[in-house]
Amino acid sequence: MEIEEIDPVTGRKTTGHEWNGIKELDTPVPRGVLMFLVATHLFALLWWILLPTWPLGSTYTKGLLDIDQRKTVEEKMVAATAARSDWMTAIETKSFDEISADEQLMKTVRETGHQLFGDNCAACHGSDGKGRSNYPDLTDQDWLWGGGPEKIAETLTVGINSRHSESRIAQMPSFGRDEMLDRTQVRQVATYVHSLTNPETSTPDNVELVKAGQEVFLTTCAACHGEDAKGNQEVGAPNLTDNYWVYGGDLQTIIASIHGGRQGHMPTWDERLSKADIKILALYVDSLGRENP
């Protein structure tokens, strides 16, 4: 039943077929489509002539422009390194004091440091460096291993409890779990430590408990945290008398710290970041605390 008809709307002939009511017009392919087809093919042809495109057994057509992405990347890396070399050399060679005194260099440090910190440090310490539970605040001027660019750079390089051969080692033993202290002693010393930053909790009711805690502290904890409990940056022992806490300063968390111990982990950045990057970060982190007293 091939009956060719004329479609009244377009005036075109149909192909003469019909499928469940569907017909097709025999309209020729519009010229615009053909020209567009030619144009895209010409573009492709040009691209093939100029750039690497077609495989030829074990090699491929190289193209007249002799461009290859690997070479392009290498050239760009060289150019970028060259463009950075002025200030990069200055940072590599100058001392921290010299850099800090150089306003122009410090501007570079702050800009570059922002991106380095965001991509490497912010996951734990937060994009503003204020840390969060279990991760130290870097803006509070309270340092476990000492502040200042030199100390910070050292911490960045070797890490804490990291796999670096010269890693800083910080071990808060698990006094409760390993039965160095019994439950009563843990509670006593925790109450004492808690009272250092919360003097109002030291009341006539529990003065006995605090006193007993202080004795435990002097025999067990003072070796690292000091008799005055102000800590020791040589061994990374935190000051327990200020109100800056990594794991939390409420009584319950203090008990948990004494019972189960704490072995925080700061990775070594020695292999991942360049010496200059570490210097920039050290200065940047140092400046965070100064800007937010």
Region from 21-29, 189-197, 202-210, 237-245 binding other proteins, contact rule CB under 8 A: 21-29
Region from 31-39, 152-160, 182-190, 204-212 binding other proteins, contact rule CB under 8 A: 31-39
At closest approach, how far in Å is the CB of 199 from other proteins? 37
The answer to whether residue 15 forms part of the interface with other proteins (CB under 8 A) is yes
Contact pick of 3, 4, 17, 205 for other proteins (by CB under 8 A): 17
Query: In 29-129, where do the E strands start and end?
Result: 55-56, 59-60
How many CA atoms are closer than 13 Å to the CA of 256, on its beta-carbon side?
10
Nearer to other proteins, 2 or 205 (CB): 2
Q: Helix (H, G, I), strand (E, B), or coil: what is residue 175? A: coil
b/e for 68-107, b at 16 or more Cβ within 10 A? Answer: eeeeeeeeeeeeeeeeeeebbebbeeeebeebbebeebbe
How far is Cα 172 from Cα 259, in angstroms, rounded to an integer?
A: 10
The answer to whether residue 89 forms part of the interface with other proteins (CB under 8 A) is no
The answer to whether residue 84 forms part of the interface with other proteins (CB under 8 A) is yes
How far is Cα 168 from Cα 161, in angstroms, rounded to an integer?
A: 6
Lookup result for tokens 């870097």: 138
Region from 2-10, 151-159, 222-230, 235-243 binding other proteins, contact rule CB under 8 A: 2-10
Contact residues for other proteins, defined by CB under 8 A: 1-2, 7, 9-10, 14-15, 17, 19-30, 33, 36-37, 40-41, 43-44, 47-48, 51-55, 60-61, 67-70, 80, 83-84, 87, 108, 111-112, 114-119, 122, 127
